[in-house]
Amino acid sequence: MAWSSLLLLSLLGGPGLGEPGPLEDVVIDRYYIPKSCSREVQMGDFIRYHYNGTFKDGQKFDSSYDRGATVAGVVGVGRLITGMDRGLQGMCVNERRHLIVPPHLGYGSIGVAGMIPPDATLYFDVILLDIWNKEDKLQISTLHKPERCNRTVENSDFVRYHYNGTLLDGTHFDSSYSKDSTYDTYVGTGWLIKGMDEGLLGMCAGEKRRIVIPPFLAYGEKGYGTVIPPQASLVFDVLLVDLHNPKDGISLEHLELPAACKRKAVTGDFVRYHYNGTLMDGTLFDSSYSRNHTYDTYIGKGYVIPGMDQGLQGVCVGEKRRIVVPPHLGYGETGAGNKIPGSAVLVFDIHVIDFHNPLDAVEIETLSRPEGCNATTRDRDFVRYHYNCSLLDGTKLFSSHDYNHPQEATLGTSKVIDGLNTGLLNMCVGEKRVIVIPPHLGHGENGARGVPGSAVLRFEVELLSREDGVPEGYLFIWHGDPPANLYEDMDLNKDGEIPPEEFSAFIKAQLTEGKGRLMPSSDPDTVIADMFQNQDRNQDGKITAEELKLKSDEDQERIHEEL
Active site residues: 51, 61-62, 81, 107, 124
| DSSP tally for the chain: helices H, then strands E | 9, 26
Which residues are CB-neighbours of 441 under 8 A, at least 6 positions away?
Answer: 361, 362, 417, 418, 419, 422
d(CA 280, CA 61): 57
d(CA 322, CA 386): 39
The full length of the chain comes to 563
Which string of DSSP letters, residue by residue, matches 294-326?
-EEEESSSSSS-HHHHHHTTT--TT-EEEEEE-
Alpha-helical regions (H) of 97-144 = none
d(CA 210, CA 191): 20
d(CA 194, CA 164): 17
295, 320, 354 from 301: Cα distances, Å: 15, 22, 18
d(CA 379, CA 382): 9
Helix (H, G, I), strand (E, B) or coil at 173: strand
d(CA 376, CA 96): 101
Query: CA dihedral defined by 211, 217, 218, 220, rounded to 10 degrees?
Result: 140
Which residues partner with 240 through β-bridges? Answer: 161
**CB-side exposure of 548: number of CA atoms within 13 Å?**
20
Which amino acid would we find at residue 286?
D
Query: CA dihedral defined by 452, 456, 462, 463, rounded to 10 degrees?
Result: 90
